[in-house]
Amino acid sequence: MAKRQLTGQVVSDKMPKTVVVKVGRIKVYPKYQARFKLSQKYKAHDENKECKVGDWVVIEECRPLSRDKRLRIIKKVSQA
């Protein structure tokens, strides 16, 4: 089974070995076809503290690493 992967921006790197990643998506209102943005924050595991605030990253599901962490960083991506 494929693991879910999400792309988002790092908004906090103050915790040891953990970053907070904000993942956004666009949803369409059914009746009026209006588009609006939604976002959700996830805590992700960053073993070597490679990511800084503002970096775009890909995160992937994994086994539970702590009470809140169920994702780990796979790679950094460049956003133009």
Q: Is the pLDDT of residue 10 over 80?
A: yes
Closest by alpha carbon to 44, among 1, 7, 2?
Answer: 7
CATH number of the CATH domain containing 22:
2.40.50.140
**Residues 35-55: tens digit of each pLDDT:** 999 999 999 999 999 999 999
Q: What is the pTM of this model?
A: 0.90
- pLDDT value at residue 80: 57
**Residues 11-23: tens digit of each pLDDT:** 999 999 999 999 9
Number of domains in the chain: 1
- pLDDT value at residue 22: 98
Closest by alpha carbon to 45, among 59, 24, 28?
Answer: 59
- 11: containing domain: 5-77
Q: Answer for the pair 80, 31: CB distance below 8 angstroms, yes or no.
A: no
Helices (H), the chain: none
Mean pLDDT of the chain: 95
